[in-house]
């Protein structure tokens, strides 16, 4: 964790397909999907986001998708989050000037 980006999780409720910005990640940190089937699109990881953390909680009755073009390990574009599940996201450098979202607690799709 970066000292200038301490873990703080202010929630934002997601009720429809949403594209998050770097600002959203920094401001909220906790995203709660309350509607089944929504798609949450993350910002493409970059150097300024290195060390940023976020939580996504699926509080709906069905699956949701979390998307980021080439933003996850192994160049995956999306992950599926089951009803009631949550994930921790961490932006990290994986090679010279290449950043990815590390994901804990999800199923790749």
pTM: 0.86
Q: How far apart (Å, rounded) are the C-alpha atoms in residues 56 and 43?
A: 14
pLDDT at position 3 is 52
Q: From CA 106, how far away is CA 80, in angstroms rounded?
A: 7
Count of domains observed in the chain: 1
Question: Does residue 83 have a pLDDT over 90?
Answer: yes
**Residue 57: its pLDDT value, please?**
95
pLDDT per residue as tens digits for the range 21-57:
999 998 898 999 999 999 999 999 999 999 988 999 9
Rounded to whole angstroms, the Cα distance separating 76 from 78 reads 6
In a domain, 3, yes or no: no
Query: Is 1 part of a structural domain of the chain?
Result: no
Please report whether residue 95 resides in a domain: yes
Asked whether residue 2 is assigned to any structural domain, the reply reads: no
Range of the domain at 100: 10-108
Average pLDDT over every residue of 66-88: 87
Q: Which band of pLDDT confidence, cut at 50, 70 and 90, is reported for residue 1?
A: very low
Average pLDDT across the chain, whole number: 87
The verdict on residue 5 lying in a domain is: no
Report yes or no on 93 lying in a domain: yes
Domain at 14, CATH number: 2.60.120.640
In the chain, where does DSSP find H-type helix?
22-27
Q: Is residue 89 one of the residues assigned to a domain?
A: yes
Query: 45 in a domain, yes or no?
Result: yes
């Amino acid at each position: 964790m970066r000292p200038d980006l301490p873990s703080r999780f202010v929630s934002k409720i997601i009720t429809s397909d949403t594209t998050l910005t770097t600002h959203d990640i920094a401001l909220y940190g906790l995203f709660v999907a309350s509607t089944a089937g929504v798609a949450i699109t993350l910002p493409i990881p970059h150097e300024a986001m290195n060390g940023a953390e976020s939580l996504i909680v699926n509080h709906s009755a069905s699956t949701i998708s979390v998307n980021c073009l080439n933003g996850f390990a192994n160049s995956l574009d999306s992950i599926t989050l089951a009803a009631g599940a949550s994930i921790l996201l961490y932006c990290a450098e994986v090679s010279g000037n290449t950043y990815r979202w590390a994901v804990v607690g999800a199923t790749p799709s």
